[in-house]
Amino acid sequence: MGAQLVGALEQARYFEYSYYRVPNGFALVARLERIDPDGTPLPEEFRFLLPGSQEPFSLGVYIKQLFFAPEGFYRQIVIVVTDRPFTATGETLDAPAAARLLSGGSNRLSNDFETMRFTEAHRVSALIYEFRKGAQQGDVSTLTPGRLGARTHLERAGIYQGLARRR
C-alpha cells in the first residue's frame, strides 16, 4: 500500500514526504506547496516555497515585491491509511506547523509494515490543509473549510490519476 501511494506521489512530482504511524496503519505527509486558485501546482521554481519566502530572483519579481507583498494559495496533503475511524481534532493547522510535519516524520515505513495485513476494512483518506497568504506581512490564514474538495485537490495535483491506474 505504501509503495503504491509513494508511486502516485512521485509521478505527480512530490519527491519530499514523510511517514507517521497511526493506529493500524500510517500517514504519508507531502511537502507544503503553492498552488493556483484552481488547485493546480505552480511551476516547479515557485511550487515549494513557503508562505512569506522569497521567490527566485528576476527583475520582474523584484519590482513586483517592491510594490506588492507575495500572496497566494498553499496546500499540504496528508494521506492516512488505517482500518480505524478517526475524526478531526478541531485544532487549526497553521502554515509553519504544516511545514514542520514534513521534517517530523520518518523517511520510510518501518519493516513491520512489510508483514502488516491490509484488509478490506482499511481505508485511504486524504486530508487537505489549505492556506491563503494575503498581501500583508504575516497575513497567512488557514481556510476551513477549504475552497476545493479533496478529490479536486488530488486530481489537480496529479495524485488521483496515479492511484487510479494502480487499482
- Report pLDDT for 57: 52
Can you tell me the distance from the alpha carbon of 2 to that of 31, in angstroms, rounded to the nearest whole number?
A: 17
User: pLDDT-based confidence at 165, cuts 50/70/90?
Assistant: low
Set of cell numbers at residue 142:
488557514
Phi-psi sector, 45: left (phi>0), alpha (psi -120 to 50), beta: alpha
Band (103; pLDDT cuts 50, 70, 90): confident
For residue 24, what is its C-alpha cell?
493500524
Taking the CB of residue 54, how many other CB atoms lie within 10 A of it?
Answer: 11
For residue 62, pLDDT beyond 50: no
Q: 75: helix, coil or strand? A: strand
Neighbouring C-alpha atoms within 13 Å toward the C-beta of 32: 24
Query: Which of 106-110, 139-143, 147-151, 159-163 holds the top average pLDDT?
Result: 147-151
Tell me the pLDDT tens digit for each residue of 11-48: 999 999 999 999 989 999 998 888 999 999 999 888 88
**Spatial separation of the C-alpha atoms in residues 142 and 146, rounded to whole Å:** 8
Distance CA(98)–CA(130), nearest Å, equals 10
> By CB neighbour count within 10 A (0-12 exposed, 13-18 middle, 19+ buried), where does 75 fall?
buried
